[in-house]
Structure 1
């Protein structure tokens, strides 16, 4: 964020280029002093030229002649230090920067009286003296080196340039710099000789200039080689070096390693950094019977460690395996990597969802993980987690910060692997990690049945039976999880939340919606696949919906082909896409589709009350029973059973959208991009872990925290310019042009708001939507919305809300007074203006 420092200017820019453009447009004039120069003799400022003229215009023309000769010309306006070698650039500069130079300019003159008058005039404090611009000393040298390091570590960690490319850049930049330096020193030498300096003085001056060259000092010193740069980065920044963990020898008698980034070192670096400190949030106070975040669930509330250590660190681990090469090519599974990341629940949800704030824990080849086992791969991690629980981290002020593992997120396959459960979901009798239901019970007449809950005691009993008897599996458990050795964590407490993306969007929703569409198209003949796909393709998606457009539906496919978010958007917008084609709105299959939409809306809620959880439980039971009756030949899948656990899991973990793995999976893209750009697979895990730690070192070097409120292109709010209706709506808020701005775009807690979007403003007797007309930022921190408020009317045929113009009124409201903060887009269908919800909103 760049705030304009000009007096009386409230502009805030989101980038350096925008700030420069703002200064060019609004603060372009140089500090000048009025001086009548019509009869003043002006002297050319070019060395060894004694030409004089009467008039500034003639002086400018004369200076252009010097440029044509190939000489360097300095701008004649006092206070401006711009230097030119191109005539057109000089002309452009004079016309843009000094538009009034004919009337208001101070040049170097040969008239001593004029010089005295100019020097006696009060000087603008914004123009520094030459003495003020002199920078010297070791502090500046260190600052210069740090900035050079920041540039190269950004190229290496964020832009993923290979070390060989960076080395080439360093060498070529130094060569070019030396050429320029040689030319400058030769010109300086000639100039000093013309000024009759002694040879000894000339040599001394040139040597001083050469010795004070910080660019060469950096590039022939710490930045000289890839090794020296890496060492400099480690000394300069908080670089968490990956630790090599020996796993053993493979079948070819080669040593195999996992690369572990010590969690304790990462956490200590985060706690010491002002950047990370600014991202931490204090423990909040929850509303009664409302679940807003993970610390509102029973898992947190019932954990004695978390209750005794209110300010402790709460870790969320995520593990998953991913391919870095073409999964269909000859190298498939050869370079498949198991990755473990962690995030902190101490940070706000919008910060946790940013992949830059997810920390790397471990990288290991999946083949080595399966061969050498959990104990070896996770040995260092478990040691650090135990120390964190028992002893904590000692800070610089000798205070101790403890922490514990809250949960381990992942898809079903990864969670079952880490927890020691069976990974066979198609034939195993016990396929659920939350209860002891069997496959035959699930396929019975009552699909909504739930088996006895798994507990730490039943888990312990099953693992003891495994040790006593010669069996490979007991109640779906194959071995004891190594993470159960932690004092305050157990995989059956529960410690492994579900993932919405895999269970619903790529599971239940994907299979069931494809089934329902087949019924509507093939059996009912309400539409065709061609019409459906044309509507999907031609629909005018808006805002975030346009970033994840649904995929076309393949006629003979058993499931939707889109990714998780694409399938989510497809179900949300399905009534708008084909609602007019549904000839019988009471058809059981159409009602089942709408019921699935309601279930998804509740599960994805950012905040959810306990009565809503109870209602969700009823909806899911009815849905599964109806689904089994209407489609007896299409068996329910294990993910349908996991859906039955969601109400209970929401009560235990809080809103499940806070723990879904799609954001963690986005972290994989960094490593995939890194591997493809570096093209070095010799020791891939080491390369990827080092590059990632370079990126984290670059991010932690920042000193400015992520602002809660970011605005773009703001201008003062002049109340007198607006209508009486607007004046009445903002009457009691105290908005003036001195304390309030009206930005075109505003971002609050990572969410962008724009004019024309809708927000839910009230949900008591009926739902109300506010259309954003104007965003107002008071005192650079308080965000208000001027909204045109509409009463929402529910359309049962679509299970959507629409608004009508006759219900509108103008209202101003602070953002904290909104029921739901998520911005929504509106769509016109059948003469109605629909506002599809992203998720269910909290009832008040």
Structure 2
């Protein structure tokens, strides 16, 4: 029996399981990968051909043979259970990898070596001819019985292996089976076409032409081939038929082909209009609606119903299963310790929200931001600037919303129209539905009841947050903070931690609004108007606008202070800008660090008071700067101390888990950093974002980890709309085109989200016997698994989106308040579980480099499970002036 690892369906033959993969799983999105059909193999592959190649190489089909079987015997360890030449040389190569001396196994050759590459090169240069024979004793013949099975490799298609057996099976299809199969084929074809349109942005005209050619190939051009095939089959079975009957039969086969019927004349997928109607009937399409702002001037915007989208999203079992914290009891269970902040549910704002805390509820996180869909210059600048309003489901566990398909569209408005007509008119349909969600809820068919919900928070940059919240949008005025009543002049002399600034609360904000209305002031203590979101019963402006660390830190404080400090270091001639850029260009970044490597710094960075770059690049620059130029700067240099302390603050802020100790440490580091900055740069005023940063310790206690509410992934969503705009090259009613394309793409994702993405993904494994493994590896394995005969080993594996490779560094435990490091030597897959064969390393913290110096402390190997790690994030090590260093990406709790 064969079982599908994803949907758990059972099949009697391997060929049936593979057909199931090809027909039912072929076009699943969200990074779907095909699993190996063998339960003992954890490999998964992104393409169908890669799966077939793996099965052909590693799991050849068993066939019954009645001839002699050749067995190979290892001349080193006398192991004689090697049935193929390929297995024999893999076994020999394993000896070489263990540095054992091996003599050439071919006749009349005395070559010896203990180096794998040398032996492999010798074999291909001297013994590539198939006439070469093995030495005596290497091979032995064994007579097979009639019923014994032999694994042989075959170059034919997998499905052809069982064709004869399947022809003998008495399996008949009734009319219902035939209709179901035809409907399934039509649905799969529609899924492919929808993917071409929505994901690959192929035009309708191109798809129409493709289908016309395909219809011609299947319906007309293949008719002679079908006639010849039918004639040959009838001839082989000694059947006599009229040629006209054969032609009619062949024509009927071509015309009744399910694909041909779907794409032929008047077929359900034959034209763009018919395809769109088919998508609406069979896929979860929530169409955007156009709302008129000004009919005379042809002003409108696109809105996608949140209630309809929620129904479609929660109708998917995979997504609903992930939202296990819809139940209030589960939320409370997550708060295992009041001193640990892992998510929004650990913050004080969750416990203060009556709906989210006391009832089973839906939590929504909104995001609003402006973006350009093209890059015009001159008078056309900002002509096509668009405001996008997105939302995500806050009930999903942390990390589940990082996929762009989990970010849903609510509205698209031209920025100029938003400024002209205001939030109240533009967001009216959204607010009406949010009020319904709070008071009546949305019906979830899988639960059989309606579930209420509300907005958890609105993620936005400072300008958008102030604009939406009704605060003053001028950051050069007196009141620049939406968290407290600080005056801009006071933030230069007074810290937030001193308690001198009154925090904004719901009652204080209500008083400000009342005074504003009574005295008709343009603004009062930073408040200029009532927020449009105040219509919601369970959402409050003072508790629903979290800070964004992307704009505050990585696009604010970090590039600003980098420019100031690098300018000082260059003037003191520790290095030049050219040498710094050369160091950036020549540094050997590894793995994911290579993807986000910093760009060279512009010549005018001092005048701009910013090093430029996006958030990823600035994060990478502040992290690797000690490794790039740290050896050229004195440890006591004040400007260098500012940069290294800023690096510590960044590590603390991006940490996904916080405790009271880490929050207190962050508060101390921010205060210390402020003092040092003002001492080194007395003539440079603190930016408003420095003041926002001082609120972070208190805000973490209220919102939970701020990295869970940053705008990094939301901004990545803009790329889809920019790509569509470049593709369609038409800006007439561009909002409709963008929204419609997006909704069909989301329908495709929801349709294909029937299977959850597997946590463990491996593309290549080697199954070896423990007899040929190094003694150190065997001893490590036997500490947990004493009776292992074979083991699956791999050099690369992906677990929950994190890729692990041999040579990477992990953190396992702590000693004396410092993390303990281990190096991945090999990875083992046992019962679909990932284990690491590791070597322990000694780590000393080098303060000047803000990194850990690593040395091998123990050559003994140890088997470590993934859940035993202190931190699951894999790290890369770097050689700096002969020292092996590793730099962490976030604060590590030990």
Q: Does residue 725 of the first structure (1) align with residue 776 of the second (2)?
A: yes
Work out the CA distance in 2 between the residues paired with 1:681 and 1:466: 42
The answer to whether the 8 A contact 1:710-1:747 is kept is yes
The answer to whether the 8 A contact 2:342-2:658 is kept is yes
Determine the structure 2 residue equivalent to 1:710: 761
Work out the CA distance in 2 between the residues paired with 1:202 and 1:446: 91
Determine the structure 1 residue equivalent to 2:156: none
Determine the structure 1 residue equivalent to 2:807: 756
The answer to whether the 8 A contact 1:350-1:750 is kept is no
After superposition, the Cα gap between the structure-2 partners of 1:8 and 1:535, relative to the gap in structure 1 and judged at 3 Å, is closer
Q: Map Cα deviations across residues 733-775 of structure 1 (whole Å, 9 max, x no partner).
A: 2276689633332222211111111111123522211111222
Q: How does 1:540-619 map to 2 (within 5 A)?
A: 540-557=588-605, 558-582=609-633, 584-619=634-669
Q: Does residue 520 of the first structure (1) align with residue 569 of the second (2)?
A: yes
Determine the structure 1 residue equivalent to 2:303: 260
Determine the structure 1 residue equivalent to 2:838: 787
Work out the CA distance in 1 between the residues paired with 2:226 and 2:763: 45
After superposition, the Cα gap between the structure-2 partners of 1:332 and 1:30, relative to the gap in structure 1 and judged at 3 Å, is farther
Determine the structure 1 residue equivalent to 2:513: 463
Work out the CA distance in 1 between the residues paired with 2:787 and 2:279: 48
Determine the structure 2 residue equivalent to 1:630: 680
Q: Which moved more, 1:134-143 or 1:124-133?
A: 124-133
Which of 706, 731, 734 is matched with 1:656 structurally?
706
The answer to whether the 8 A contact 2:842-2:857 is kept is no
Work out the CA distance in 1 between the residues paired with 2:341 and 2:234: 80
Which of 218, 224, 235 is matched with 2:270 structurally?
224
Q: Which moved more, 1:262-271 or 1:638-647?
A: 262-271
After superposition, the Cα gap between the structure-2 partners of 1:745 and 1:615, relative to the gap in structure 1 and judged at 3 Å, is same
After superposition, the Cα gap between the structure-2 partners of 1:625 and 1:169, relative to the gap in structure 1 and judged at 3 Å, is same
SS of 2:746 mapped into structure 1: helix
After superposition, the Cα gap between the structure-2 partners of 1:586 and 1:133, relative to the gap in structure 1 and judged at 3 Å, is farther
Which of 222, 241, 256 is matched with 1:197 structurally?
241
Work out the CA distance in 2 between the residues paired with 1:34 and 1:740: 31
Work out the CA distance in 2 between the residues paired with 1:391 and 1:275: 25
Determine the structure 2 residue equivalent to 1:302: 352
After superposition, the Cα gap between the structure-2 partners of 1:11 and 1:594, relative to the gap in structure 1 and judged at 3 Å, is closer
SS of 2:541 mapped into structure 1: coil
Which of 50, 63, 68 is matched with 1:18 structurally?
50
Q: How does 1:395-434 map to 2 (within 5 A)?
A: 395-396=444-445, 398-425=448-475, 427-434=476-483
Q: How does 1:262-301 map to 2 (within 5 A)?
A: 262-282=305-325, 283=330, 285-288=334-337, 289-301=339-351
After superposition, the Cα gap between the structure-2 partners of 1:602 and 1:190, relative to the gap in structure 1 and judged at 3 Å, is closer
Work out the CA distance in 2 between the residues paired with 1:783 and 1:542: 23
Work out the CA distance in 1 between the residues paired with 2:799 and 2:335: 21
Q: Map Cα deviations across residues 390-445 of structure 1 (whole Å, 9 max, x no partner).
A: 222223352232222111001111111111112111x2211111111011212336
Determine the structure 1 residue equivalent to 2:824: 772
Root-mean-square deviation over aligned CA pairs = 2.7
Determine the structure 1 residue equivalent to 2:502: 452
Q: Does residue 168 of the first structure (1) align with residue 235 of the second (2)?
A: no
The answer to whether the 8 A contact 1:756-1:772 is kept is yes
Determine the structure 1 residue equivalent to 2:258: 214
SS of 1:716 mapped into structure 2: strand
The answer to whether the 8 A contact 2:40-2:831 is kept is no
How far residue 620 of structure 1 moved from its aligned partner, in angstroms, is 0.7
After superposition, the Cα gap between the structure-2 partners of 1:293 and 1:789, relative to the gap in structure 1 and judged at 3 Å, is farther
Determine the structure 2 residue equivalent to 1:481: 531
After superposition, the Cα gap between the structure-2 partners of 1:127 and 1:477, relative to the gap in structure 1 and judged at 3 Å, is farther
Q: How does 1:336-415 map to 2 (within 5 A)?
A: 336-396=385-445, 398-415=448-465
The answer to whether the 8 A contact 1:342-1:360 is kept is yes
Q: Does residue 678 of the first structure (1) align with residue 728 of the second (2)?
A: yes
After superposition, the Cα gap between the structure-2 partners of 1:27 and 1:708, relative to the gap in structure 1 and judged at 3 Å, is closer
After superposition, the Cα gap between the structure-2 partners of 1:496 and 1:9, relative to the gap in structure 1 and judged at 3 Å, is closer
How far residue 187 of structure 1 moved from its aligned partner, in angstroms, is 4.5
After superposition, the Cα gap between the structure-2 partners of 1:774 and 1:203, relative to the gap in structure 1 and judged at 3 Å, is closer
Q: Map Cα deviations across residues 674-707 of structure 1 (whole Å, 9 max, x no partner).
A: 1101112111111111111111111111221112
After superposition, the Cα gap between the structure-2 partners of 1:14 and 1:715, relative to the gap in structure 1 and judged at 3 Å, is farther
Work out the CA distance in 1 between the residues paired with 2:172 and 2:421: 62
The answer to whether the 8 A contact 1:248-1:372 is kept is no
The answer to whether the 8 A contact 2:42-2:761 is kept is no
The answer to whether the 8 A contact 1:446-1:625 is kept is no
Work out the CA distance in 2 between the residues paired with 1:24 and 1:482: 62
SS of 1:176 mapped into structure 2: helix
Q: Map Cα deviations across residues 15-38 of structure 1 (whole Å, 9 max, x no partner).
A: 3222111122234457455499xx
TM-score, normalisation: structure 1: 0.84
Name stretches of at least 5 consecutive residues in structure 2 with no aligned partner: 1-32, 69-142, 147-160
Q: Does residue 127 of the first structure (1) align with residue 127 of the second (2)?
A: no
How far residue 567 of structure 1 moved from its aligned partner, in angstroms, is 0.9
State how many pairs are aligned. Answer: 751
How far residue 192 of structure 1 moved from its aligned partner, in angstroms, is 10
Work out the CA distance in 1 between the residues paired with 2:218 and 2:46: 32
The answer to whether the 8 A contact 1:739-1:778 is kept is no
Q: Does residue 842 of the first structure (1) align with residue 874 of the second (2)?
A: no
SS of 2:501 mapped into structure 1: coil
How far residue 159 of structure 1 moved from its aligned partner, in angstroms, is 0.6
SS of 2:455 mapped into structure 1: strand
Q: How does 1:49-64 map to 2 (within 5 A)?
A: none
The answer to whether the 8 A contact 2:653-2:706 is kept is yes
Q: Does residue 497 of the first structure (1) align with residue 546 of the second (2)?
A: yes
Determine the structure 1 residue equivalent to 2:220: 179
Work out the CA distance in 2 between the residues paired with 1:576 and 1:132: 70
How far residue 8 of structure 1 moved from its aligned partner, in angstroms, is 6.3
Determine the structure 1 residue equivalent to 2:586: 538
Determine the structure 2 residue equivalent to 1:87: none
How far residue 278 of structure 1 moved from its aligned partner, in angstroms, is 4.6
The answer to whether the 8 A contact 1:760-1:770 is kept is yes
The answer to whether the 8 A contact 1:416-1:433 is kept is yes
After superposition, the Cα gap between the structure-2 partners of 1:445 and 1:243, relative to the gap in structure 1 and judged at 3 Å, is closer
Work out the CA distance in 1 between the residues paired with 2:282 and 2:241: 43
Work out the CA distance in 1 between the residues paired with 2:777 and 2:453: 51
TM-score, normalisation: structure 2: 0.79
Determine the structure 2 residue equivalent to 1:242: 288
After superposition, the Cα gap between the structure-2 partners of 1:21 and 1:627, relative to the gap in structure 1 and judged at 3 Å, is same
How far residue 275 of structure 1 moved from its aligned partner, in angstroms, is 3.6
Work out the CA distance in 2 between the residues paired with 1:132 and 1:266: 47
SS of 1:451 mapped into structure 2: coil
Work out the CA distance in 2 between the residues paired with 1:358 and 1:132: 49
